[in-house]
Amino acid sequence: MTAATYVFEYHLVNYRRTWRATVLSSVVLPLLTMLGFGLGVGAFVTGDVQGFSYLEWMVPGLIATTAVQTAVGEATWPVMSGFAWVKSYFAQAAAPLRAGDILGGHLAFMLFRVLLSVASFLLVALLFGAIRSPGAVAVLPIAALLGFATAAPAAAYTASVTSDMFLAVLFRFVVLPMSLFSGVFFPIESLPGALRWIAHVLPLWHGVDLCRTAVLGLDPGPGAVWHVLYLLLWGVAGWFLAVWRYRRRLVF
Amino acid sequence: MNSLIHARGLVKRFDGFTAVDGIDVDVRPGEAFGFLGPNGAGKSSTMRMIGCVSPPSDGVLRILGMDPRRDGPAIRARLGVCPQLDNLDPELTVRENLTTYARFFGIPRKVARARATELLDFVQLGERAGSRVDPLSGGMKRRLTIARALINEPDLVLLDEPTTGLDPQARHLVWERLFRLKQQGVTLVLTTHYMDEAEQLCDRLVVMDGGRIVAEGSPRELIAAHSTREVVELRFPTEDQGAYADELKGIGERIEVLPDRILLYVADGDDALAEVHRRSLTPVGSLARRSSLEDVFLRLTGRTLVD
């Protein structure tokens, strides 16, 4: 555990050098998305969605996708770099760290990045008046859980592929469709039945539903517990897969 | 047990091929020990096993008296590792590369900063402490990697081809620093395919080929046992140097025909050259020199080291 905090610390020192490049995606992108979808598309959505204005209804979904985009972004190229480009993982493996420490410390940093992105999104949304319930702060732990549920399996995937071409594949064929079919922009009830299972199986929709419940101040009900457990399952399974893949790459 | 490294019948197998094929090694405290051999001889696989990042497939291996299969982190806490390819952090400063790495060993921040200053002076990078790693030259990066390997005051320093890819001036600077370490009593284990590096740095070395140890001793002992005192190199103006082999017969103990030259193993180089000229042979180039580890390797394996 202590060893993993040393690795987390290392990633923070690195971030001190590179944070400027991430400000754009953390602040400017939510702003543009809010303008484009919330106000632009929202103007065409006459009437309300499930009793809320389109902007209000959509913002929690965007927060959840932001969490996933950040989590998977941090668990792909930087992980590839640790193995193949900078090879920082190998430097760490030569020190008294184990695969689980190296992964754990990096994963902690990924979740830290998720929290930063989601917090800045929350602020932007607040300024737009798209958030009214104080329960909205609950999106922070939800985003961390969703980040864990997606970053851990994504890190396992990255540790298993040999070229960054496969990372683009992950984004194009998994992350993008997941963002479209997980109730971010429209309720999944509007999906044809044959596609609805995608939303149920992949992690994002569970996070979207939790975020929406929190931001709109709805009654969580027993469904929320299942969402949390299901996301935990993704995270824990991803964790064990990733430890196994990391060990294979570092110790051979 | 007095050996820092103790290996008996050590084997490393990957699917389908054996990289290290049953080697016995003992490295004593304060020694500079080398693994000499061409690419693919099994040097790096051996180093990875010693570095506890590669479990042995078979045999006995004890590092600092401990078992790498069980005590990996405890052993690695007392090793310093300089890998073949630099894996420094390009975004961080020279100093931060040392201080962040120190933390992996649980070294307190204050101690880490003090040691970083000291080590940067030692590798002559004190003035670059605040600059980023990216623009440093290859030799500077290698020296920084060596400094990083020393941050935990290791009992044993592993250097995998410490000067491969460096220009001659940078190599000499690295050698000089490593020699200083050796004088301070630090135990060094290095791999190299440069015989001059092995001769400069190693008290004792093993010659590896095809995953096995083919000879062991000090550079001087190896030369005495496997080569003559001097060597004469001759180049003839022809495609086939071997055509002259017959006419050179009887000069010296042994003759070796290479694609671009002929080597005569002799006791006295000048005498041998005089004999070549007496037989009215006229090589376009000739050179008499001392025997080196390169000759030992050629003798033992029938191949040259660097190809």
Give chain B positions within 8 Å (CB) of A98.
Answer: 72-73
Which of B54, B90, B152 is the closest to A252 by Cβ?
Answer: B54
- Check if the beta carbon of residue B222 is closer than 8 Å to that of residue B214: no
Q: Is B200 left (phi over 0), alpha (psi -120 to 50) or beta?
A: alpha
**Residue A251 pLDDT:** 95
State whether residue B53 sits within 8 Å of chain A by CB: yes
**Residue B72 pLDDT:** 96
Give chain B positions within 8 Å (CB) of A7.
Answer: 104
**Residues belonging to chain A:** 252
Mean pLDDT of B173-197: 92
φ, ψ of residue B196 in degrees (nearest 5): -65, -35
| Residue B83 shares a structural domain with residue B133 | yes
| Residue B99 shares a structural domain with residue B184 | yes
Q: Is residue B303 over pLDDT 80? A: no
Mean pLDDT of B85-112: 97
Place of tokens 């972004």: A73
B residues 121..180 contacting A (CB < 8 A)? 148, 152
| Residue B159 shares a structural domain with residue B258 | no
- What amino acid is encoded at A24 in this protein? L
Mean pLDDT of B78-97: 96
The domain spanning residue B240 has which CATH number?
3.30.70
**Residue A130 pLDDT:** 87
What sign results for the dihedral spanned by CA atoms A43, A48, A52, A58?
negative
| Residue B53 shares a structural domain with residue B95 | yes
Query: In this structure, is residue B299 part of a structural domain?
Result: no
Verify whether the Cβ–Cβ distance B101 to A3 is below 8 Å: no
Give chain B positions within 8 Å (CB) of A97.
Answer: 73, 104
Which of A13, A94, A252 is the closest to B92 by Cβ?
Answer: A13
Tell me the three-class secondary structure of chain B, residue by residue. CCCCEEEEEEEEEECCEEEEEEEEEEECCCCEEEEECCCCCCHHHHHHHHCCCCCCCEEEEEECCECHHHHHHHHHCCEEEECCCCCCCCCCEHHHHHHHHHHCCCCCHHHHHHHHHHHHHHCCCHHHCCCECCCCCHHHHHHHHHHHHCCCCCCEEEEECCCCCCCHHHHHHHHHHHHHHHHCCCEEEEEECCHHHHHHHCCEEEEEECCEEEEEECHHHHHHHHCCCEEEEEECCCCCHHHHHHHHCCCCCEEEECCCCEEEEECCHHHHHHHHHHCCCCCCEEEEEECCHHHHHHHHHCCCCCC
| Residue B213 shares a structural domain with residue B276 | no
Query: In this structure, is residue B306 part of a structural domain?
Result: no
d(CA B204, CA B61) in angstroms, rounded, equals 19
Mean pLDDT of B175-179: 94
Who contacts B261 (Cβ-Cβ below 8 Å, separation ≥6)?
A: B233, B234, B235, B241, B285
Task: For an interface test with A, give the residue of B76, B100, B113 to mutate (most A CBs within 10 A).
Answer: B100
Verify whether the Cβ–Cβ distance A6 to B101 is below 8 Å: no
Please count the other Cβ atoms lying within 10 Å of the Cβ belonging to residue B230: 20
Q: Please say which residue of B218, B242, B262 terminates a domain.
A: B218
Query: In this structure, is residue B16 part of a structural domain?
Result: yes
The three-state secondary structure class of A52 is: strand
Encode chain A (252 residues) as per-residue pLDDT tens digits. Answer: 799 999 999 999 999 998 988 888 777 887 888 888 777 888 888 778 888 988 899 999 999 999 999 999 999 999 999 999 999 999 999 999 999 999 999 999 999 999 999 999 999 899 888 888 899 999 999 999 999 999 999 999 999 999 999 999 999 999 999 999 999 999 999 999 888 988 999 999 999 999 999 999 999 889 999 999 999 999 999 999 999 999 999 999
| Residue B268 shares a structural domain with residue B207 | no
| Residue B195 shares a structural domain with residue B284 | no
- Check if the beta carbon of residue B6 is closer than 8 Å to that of residue B29: no
| Residue B126 shares a structural domain with residue B84 | yes
Verify whether the Cβ–Cβ distance A3 to B104 is below 8 Å: yes
Please count the other Cβ atoms lying within 10 Å of the Cβ belonging to residue A197: 12
| Residue B88 shares a structural domain with residue B164 | yes
Residue B43: closest CA among B284, B229, B205: B205
Verify whether the Cβ–Cβ distance B104 to A93 is below 8 Å: no
Residue A53: closest CA among A156, A125, A2: A125
Closest CA–CA distance from residue B296 to any residue of chain A (Å): 32
d(CA A60, CA A121) in angstroms, rounded, equals 10
Verify whether the Cβ–Cβ distance A10 to B104 is below 8 Å: yes
pLDDT in tens, B26-85: 999 999 999 998 888 999 999 999 999 999 999 999 999 999 999 999 999 999 999 999
Dihedral angle of Cα B255, B260, B261, B263, to the nearest 10 degrees? -40
Q: How many domains does chain B have?
A: 2
Query: In this structure, is residue B207 part of a structural domain?
Result: yes
Verify whether the Cβ–Cβ distance B54 to A251 is below 8 Å: yes
- How many interchain CB pairs under 8 A, A with B? 69
Query: In this structure, is residue B138 part of a structural domain?
Result: yes
d(CA A78, CA A66) in angstroms, rounded, equals 18
Verify whether the Cβ–Cβ distance A94 to B51 is below 8 Å: yes
Give chain A positions within 8 Å (CB) of B87.
Answer: 86-88, 90-91
Give chain A positions within 8 Å (CB) of B88.
Answer: 91
Query: In this structure, is residue B301 part of a structural domain?
Result: no
d(CA A205, CA A187) in angstroms, rounded, equals 10
Domain that holds residue B70: 5-218
Residue B262: closest CA among B281, A158, A45: B281
Verify whether the Cβ–Cβ distance A90 to B101 is below 8 Å: no
Q: Is B256 exposed, middle or buried (0-12, 13-18, 19+ CB in 10 A)?
A: middle
d(CA B153, CA B80) in angstroms, rounded, equals 8
Q: How many Å separate Cα A131 from the centre of its chain?
A: 20
d(CA B274, CA B291) in angstroms, rounded, equals 19
The domain spanning residue B184 has which CATH number?
3.40.50.300
Who contacts B69 (Cβ-Cβ below 8 Å, separation ≥6)?
A: B55, B56
**Residue A178 pLDDT:** 96
d(CA A217, CA A171) in angstroms, rounded, equals 31
pLDDT in tens, B129-169: 999 999 999 999 999 999 999 999 999 999 999 998 899 99
d(CA B11, CA B59) in angstroms, rounded, equals 6
Q: Please say which residue of B166, B196, B218 terminates a domain.
A: B218
End-to-end CA distance of chain B: 39
Give chain B positions within 8 Å (CB) of A251.
Answer: 53-55
Query: In this structure, is residue B296 part of a structural domain?
Result: no
**Residues belonging to chain B:** 307
| Residue B159 shares a structural domain with residue B249 | no
Q: Please say which residue of B196, B218, B240 terminates a domain.
A: B218
**Residue B238 pLDDT:** 82
- Check if the beta carbon of residue A143 is closer than 8 Å to that of residue A231: no
- Check if the beta carbon of residue A187 is closer than 8 Å to that of residue A67: no
The three-state secondary structure class of A49 is: strand
d(CA B307, CA B304) in angstroms, rounded, equals 7
| Residue B201 shares a structural domain with residue B255 | no
Verify whether the Cβ–Cβ distance B89 to A9 is below 8 Å: no
Closest chain B residue to the Cα of A105, Cα to Cα: B104
**Residue A40 pLDDT:** 82
Verify whether the Cβ–Cβ distance B87 to A86 is below 8 Å: yes
ipTM of the complex: 0.92
Give chain A positions within 8 Å (CB) of B103.
Answer: 6, 9-10
Closest CA–CA distance from residue B228 to any residue of chain A (Å): 41
Verify whether the Cβ–Cβ distance A96 to B76 is below 8 Å: yes
Query: In this structure, is residue B115 part of a structural domain?
Result: yes
Verify whether the Cβ–Cβ distance B91 to A14 is below 8 Å: yes
Alpha helices (runs of H) in chain A, residue ranges in sequence order: 2-23, 29-33, 54-74, 77-80, 88-94, 99-127, 139-160, 165-170, 176-180, 193-201, 204-215, 223-250
Query: In A, what residues contact B, Cβ < 8 A?
Result: 2-3, 6-7, 9-10, 13-14, 17-18, 86-88, 90-98, 250-252
For the stretch A17-43, what's the b/e string if a residue is b when 16 or more beta carbons lie within 10 angstroms of its beta carbon? eeeeebeeebeebbeebbeebbeeebe
Helical packing angle, A204-215 and A193-201, nearest 10° = 80
| Residue B212 shares a structural domain with residue B240 | no
Closest chain B residue to the Cα of A98, Cα to Cα: B73
**Residue B1 pLDDT:** 54
Closest chain B residue to the Cα of A89, Cα to Cα: B87
